Amino acid sequence: MTPQEGGKGPLDGIRVADFSWFGAGPIVGRTLADFGAEVVRVESEYKIDALRLTQPVPPDRPATYNTGGFFNNFNAGKHSFLLNMNAEGARAVAYRLVERSDVFLTNHTPRVVAKWGVDYESLRAVNPRIIAAYQPMQGSTGPHKDFIGFGAVLTPVSGLSHLSGDPARPPIGVGTNYPDFTLNPGHTMTAILAALRHRERTGAGQMVELAQIESVAATLGPALLDYTVNGRVAARTGNRSAGMAPHGVFRCRDQARSHPAAVGQDPDVRERWIAIAVRDDDDWAALCAAAPGSAFAGDARFATVAGRKRHEDALESAIAAWTAGEEAASLQERLQGADVPAHLVQDAEDMLDHDAHLRARGYYRRLEHPETGLSAYDGPVVGLGETPGDLRWAAPLFGEHTYEVATRILGYSDDEVSELVAAGVLA
C-alpha cells in the first residue's frame, strides 16, 4: 500500500523543519518525505529559492514560481510555508516550528545560520530532542567556513574537476552538480537516520554537520592514495581506465531528431553514442566475436590487455570506425547478449520515453500539478519490501500550506495568523 492509499511509511510521525534551498538540502527533505516524514519547506519571497525560477519549465506553460522542473522534482510531498526570517518576530515562529519537529535541516552558510539564530545551541535550547542537520559547503569552522558556492564551485574546490575531462584540454567538471544532487544528500540522509536511531535508543538529539567539501573529497580515495604512496598527482584521463581497454564512449549512427534541439545541438540530427568497457581478455574475445570482419578483431596488437593499453589510440580509432555504422540500441543488445559491458548513452528522451527497463520497474512517477499538469518525478531512491516509500503529492505551490502549517502545526489562531501576515512575518 502506498502513502497515497493510506499506508504509513517508515518515517511516519517524523516532522522535518526544512530550511534548506537549491539542491543538497531539499533532496534530503524530499527523501524523508518519500518515506513518510511530514516535511515543512520554509520559503520566503525575500530570498526565493532560485530553482523555482530556472529551466526547465513546460514549453506550453508560463514560467512562474511553481513551474521550475528542478524545484518541483526536489520538493514533491512537502508543505510550503512562507516565513520571512529577516522580519522582526520571525525567529519566534521558527523556534515554534523547531519545538514541534524532530529534524531541522539547512544548507545555508554559517553566516545565515548565525543571523537567523538557528545554530544548534539555540535550537537545542528550544527542543533538546531535535536532530539539527547542517550542510555548509566547507564546514562551520576553519578559515574558509564563510566561502559560498554551489555544485559548480564545489567540484573544483574538492579536486573532482581536476580529474574530469580530456588530458589535453581544460578541466570540465562533471556536467551536472554531482555533489549537490548525489553525494551530499546521500551522506546527510544516512547521518540523519543514524541520529534518529540514536535518539530512539537514548532520547537525546544531536547536531549533524556535513561539510560538503569533505563529502566529495571522500570519493577521491584512489587519487589521494596514489599521491600519498607514489608521489603522483592523478591527471585527467578522459574516459579511459587504468586497467581496462577499450573503455570509452564511441559514436554510432546518428538518428533524425524528434524533439527540439538544445543550444549547440544540430537541429536535425540526434547524435547516438555507446559506452563499451572491456574488463579482460575474455570480454575482448566476446567483443571480437560480436564484430566479425571488423578491423580490430584479428589485430594481434590488441590480443592482450597490455597490448590494448599500449596501442590504445589505434584501438579506439578502430572501435570508433566500427561503431560509426551501427545503430546504438541494437548494438547494445548484441553486446550485452555476448556478455560485453556496453550500453547506449541515453539522454532525457531515452530515459523518459524509450527505456523499457525503467518503465517496467515504474521508476518515474507521474503526478498532476496545478500549473505544470501531469509531470514526471524521480521515484524513491531505494525500495523497501515491507515499508515502501512513494510520492504522496506533487511539489507544493509557493506558500500553498502557510495557513495550514501556522494553524494545525504551530497552533496559531486566525487572528494571530493575520497579525503575523500584517507584520510581514508570514505571507
- Geometric angle at alpha carbon 201, from 195 and 206, rounded to 5°: 30
Q: Are strands 273-277 and 269-270 parallel, antiparallel or unpaired?
A: unpaired
Question: Active site residue: 18, 49, 180, 390, which one?
Answer: 180
Taking the C-alpha atoms of residue 334 and residue 348, their distance in angstroms, rounded to an integer, is: 23
Q: Which neighbouring-strand residues pair with 82?
A: 43
User: In Å, what is the CA distance from 272 to each residue of 90, 296, 329, 343?
Assistant: 53, 21, 9, 11
CA dihedral 141, 160, 176, 327 (to 10 degrees): -160
Pairing of strands 38-43, 15-18: parallel
Q: Tell me if residue 134 falls in helix, strand or coil.
A: strand
* Cα–Cα distance, 3 to 5 (Å, whole number): 5
Backbone angles phi, psi at 369, to 5 degrees: -120, 140
Active site residue 281: no
Instruction: Give CA angle at 341 (337, 344), nearest 5°.
Output: 85
Active site residues: 180
